[in-house]
Amino acid sequence: MDRKVEALHQQLQKMRQEKEVQEDALYAIRQKQVRLESVESELFHMEREKSNLVAQAHEVWQGNHGRSVAHEAEGIAHQNWRQLRRTVEESREALQQEQQRLQKTVYQLEKEQKRIHKELLL
């Protein structure tokens, strides 16, 4: 019986350590999400400034060639913005998936720990 109890205690200790590792990883994910939100905010402000600059460029450039250059620059900027938004969204989704995976693992570890605790009490 003592061996079984000792084995259960060792298993609990390993699970606690694994849970700590998973919780640390969850904390790191949350920090990345906070940084991503900060980057998004900064990108939004940069996009607004860029739009203002493009609007000013439209006013400065004159003639057909000037308008053509302005529209081309605006198109390139818009395409880059879409690509950047797509990258940010993909990053957000990857972080959310990793967070869900880690939370599920932590939940399973907690459930298993409770089961072992009950077994030790019997």
What are 12-51's pLDDT values in tens digits? Answer: 999 999 999 999 999 999 999 999 999 999 999 998 998 8
What is the pLDDT at residue 34? 97
Rounded (10°) CA dihedral 21, 27, 31, 32: 50
C-alpha to C-alpha distance for 63 and 84, rounded to whole angstroms: 31
Tens of pLDDT, residue by residue over 57-96, are: 777 777 666 677 778 888 888 899 999 999 999 999 999 9
Angstrom distance (rounded) from CA 116 to CA 13: 11
Average pLDDT over all residues of the chain: 90
In total, how many domains does the chain have? 1
Which residue segment(s) compose the domain that 54 sits in?
2-121
d(CA 47, CA 41): 10
- Cα–Cα nearest to 30, from 87, 99, 94, 107: 99
**CB burial of residue 40 (10 Å; 0-12, 13-18, 19+):** middle
Place of tokens 């060639």: 65
- Kindly indicate the confidence band of residue 99, based on its pLDDT and cuts at 50, 70 and 90: very high
The model's pTM is: 0.77
CA-to-CA dists, residue 24 to 21, 89, 104, angstroms? 5, 24, 14
